[in-house]
Amino acid sequence: MKRNIARLSQHAATLGVSLRPHLKTSKCIEAARYVLAGGNGPATVSTLAEAEMFAAAGITDILYAVGISPDKLDRVIALHRAGCRLTVLLDCAAQANAVAAASRASGVALPAMIEIDSDGHRSGLTPDDRALIEVGRILQDGGAELAGVLCHAGESYNVVGREAHARFAEIERQAVVDAATALRKAGLPCPALSVGSTPTAHGARDLTGVTEMRAGVYVFFDLVMAGIEACTLDDIALSVLTTVIGHQTARGWTICDAGWMAMSRDRGTAGQPVDQGYGLVCDDAGRVIPGLYVKQANQEHGVIARHPDFQGDVPEFPVGARLRILPNHACATAAQHQRYHVLPETPGAELVEWPRFGGW
Amino acid sequence: MKRNIARLSQHAATLGVSLRPHLKTSKCIEAARYVLAGGNGPATVSTLAEAEMFAAAGITDILYAVGISPDKLDRVIALHRAGCRLTVLLDCAAQANAVAAASRASGVALPAMIEIDSDGHRSGLTPDDRALIEVGRILQDGGAELAGVLCHAGESYNVVGREAHARFAEIERQAVVDAATALRKAGLPCPALSVGSTPTAHGARDLTGVTEMRAGVYVFFDLVMAGIEACTLDDIALSVLTTVIGHQTARGWTICDAGWMAMSRDRGTAGQPVDQGYGLVCDDAGRVIPGLYVKQANQEHGVIARHPDFQGDVPEFPVGARLRILPNHACATAAQHQRYHVLPETPGAELVEWPRFGGW
């Protein structure tokens, strides 16, 4: 985890942009202390519950990177009054009007970023959409603060290799630069240009014009990220410890007690060149055991079997043996647990528990 | 929820078997009070954490229906000493030896059931497996208590209609009756014959020889159960309340704030005749809106779109509108939340919160 954090931090520094880590992967104050390297921001969150928890822990610069709805603005204002600069995200006039009205009513000029769509993945306005200027003007003239533009190249998760991620990083960069240019031409400010996803943050080679990048899952990484070559298996810093509870010898199955409740139902590698089932199997020291994967999962049962791509023999493990499973998707697997059991940096030292939180 | 509970309770009474509800779906003391109809058992759980929580709430007869591993036996014995009869499940000699050894060491004759496999779904011995007698003898002669045999027809979730579920119920029944006959012929006791899954429990027509049936998801039901005709959409007693946060008008998308963190990654209808995406969309009163579904989900974003099977027009909803999403899989969706917001039986009365627990 520390190596993953240091690597992206150095890459951001080399590119001359600030890094605004997404804390939705860990949802953990102790992990955030490492990710934010002792500072109190900048940070990104995916829910108001995260914003409230991290603000209570002293983090003062948070971007809530999911489109705002009017019913949530009371909690946004309360966070500002408690000393946290929480920036909201939006992409339409209805949201901008609500944010401007809340700003006027509260006397807090709420900072808002406009979401830009670069790849058709999900939300956002294209840089040439005339609504961009309209939304910017509603915010700026209505008493809110137009804080900038934001883009997330969600489609970058579907392409393999550093070269492909670099292309998406350039698409993200171009989108926010074009949007900022349009806003500025219309006489509107655009101080922040924010881009990012774990693949594009690592793949980016030139971020001219951009002020910050965001990434989240890089802290732990996972099999989906390994499958698109955004990391190696050795970078994966999260696993689920499980115990063997049975066998179906005729079918070559080993049954363990890590089912989907422990792994999540995320099957993110199902659409990748190598489908890793519900996860790859490691020994209790975290070394990948070649040829094994979690073929299927029920609520509290995982079925370990030989991967169809593997030809050789695979070892057998008796009832009671301990194994570790590397997850498809760290955000989803971590969300199934209430705490992390942190392996000590000094071998032989005690495990440390880091609590996680959830909710909205 | 109350109607679902009453229906299966009546069906069990008609069949002359006891009902041992599985509490893994709700993981909630308050829901268990309804499910157990004021009694303190019998109940089924999927983790020791559930056993400990329900035992602390006064439930005294619990079956832990996941294969036991030796490292968990200390907690099993502690539950017995605290007044809860916790029955464990196993299907091999290694487990039986561990249970017998723990029984002798503790002076608590641990009750254990032998898992029987009727459909190749997951764990268990076939009724004609000679290991059945070996395992039974290890338990009985070793100081544990051979409490009976248990079967779960997991493959019943993959067949559609009451007729097909009745066939799997008969396969389950025959498997435990055959296993009990084999044990008794060998001079071993087999007091309990336990069968069940939500489809087979509802489909069963004759359970001669069986003493109890188990079911879990029937309390809430879900789209997977509706897809195999184990329930109707109107029986589904669990939904996720969500708010509209944006649109992609050109693509016909409405973005809401129920992503996979709220719905779970469960895509259980993906393999069914009608793929319901991440869920069906209802108005805030819970009435299904024809033609809409959650087409895709990110962590905190759900994309609502017209279902490909639907031809007509679908309504549009403004930013801030509230909708409800019916889940694919109630066990998985409920697990993403820390509490239930229980709709009042009297319209206009206050919502009640029921806490949920997780962990192992």
Tens digit of each residue's pLDDT (9 = 90 or more) over B11-39: 999 999 999 999 999 999 999 999 998 78
Architecture of domain A2-219: Alpha-Beta Barrel (3.20)
pLDDT of residue B99: 98
Cβ contact (<8 Å) for A319 and B255? no
Cβ B292 vs Cβ B280: under 8 Å:
yes
Residue B151, pLDDT above cutoff 80: yes
pLDDT of residue B347: 81
Q: How far apart are CA B334 and CA B355, in angstroms?
A: 11
Report percent pLDDT > 90 for chain B. Answer: 96
Residue ranges of chain A with pLDDT lower than 50? Answer: none
Chain A environment of B257 (Cβ under 8 Å): 66-67, 69
For range B131-154, the mean pLDDT: 97
Residue of B299, B322, B328 to mutate for A, most A C-beta atoms under 10 A? B299
Cβ contact (<8 Å) for A267 and B265? yes
Domain-by-domain residue ranges, chain A? 2-219, 233-352
Residue B159, pLDDT above cutoff 80: yes
pLDDT of residue A293: 98
Residue of A22, A46, A69, A267 to mutate for B, most B C-beta atoms under 10 A? A69
pLDDT of residue A52: 98
Mean pLDDT estimate for chain B? 97
260-299 in chain A: CB under 8 A from chain B: 260-262, 264-267, 298-299
For range B88-111, the mean pLDDT: 98
Q: How far apart are CA B329 and CA B198, in angstroms?
A: 13
Q: How far apart are CA B320 and CA A18, in angstroms?
A: 33
Looking at the complex, does the CB of residue A91 fall below 8 Å from at least one CB of chain B? yes
Q: Which of B94, B264, B318 sits opposite A318 (nearest CB)?
A: B94
pLDDT of residue A121: 86
Least confident range from A169-173, A248-252, B90-94, B330-334: namely A248-252
Cβ B326 vs Cβ B313: under 8 Å:
no
Q: How far apart are CA A132 and CA A178, in angstroms?
A: 11
For range B201-210, the mean pLDDT: 98
pLDDT of residue B166: 97
Task: Indicate whether this model's pTM tops 0.95.
Answer: yes
Q: How far apart are CA A101 and CA A94, in angstroms?
A: 11
Per CATH, B2-219 and B239-326 having the same topology is answered: no
Q: How far apart are CA A146 and CA A95, in angstroms?
A: 13
Q: Which residue has the tokens 């608590």?
A: B108
The number of beta carbons lying within 10 Å of the beta carbon of residue A81 is 11
Least confident range from B45-59, B179-193, B225-239, B343-357: namely B343-357
pLDDT of residue B121: 86
- Specify the fold of A233-352: Lyase, Ornithine Decarboxylase; Chain A, domain 1 (2.40.37)
Q: Which residue has the tokens 């020889």?
A: B209
Residue of B126, B249, B265, B301 to mutate for A, most A C-beta atoms under 10 A? B265
Separation in Å, CA of B325 to nearest CA in chain A: 16
pLDDT of residue B280: 98
Where does the pLDDT of residue B322 fall: very low under 50, low under 70, confident under 90, or very high at 90 and above? very high
Rounded to two decimals, the ipTM of the complex is: 0.96
Report percent pLDDT > 70 for chain B. Answer: 100
Looking at the complex, does the CB of residue A50 fall below 8 Å from at least one CB of chain B? no
pLDDT of residue A334: 98
CATH class of the domain whose range is B239-326: mainly beta
For range B245-270, the mean pLDDT: 97
pLDDT of residue A102: 98
Sequence-ordered alpha helix ranges (H) in chain A:
2-15, 29-35, 48-56, 73-81, 93-106, 131-142, 162-185, 198-203, 223-227, 260-263, 330-334
Q: Which residue has the tokens 């190749």?
A: B120
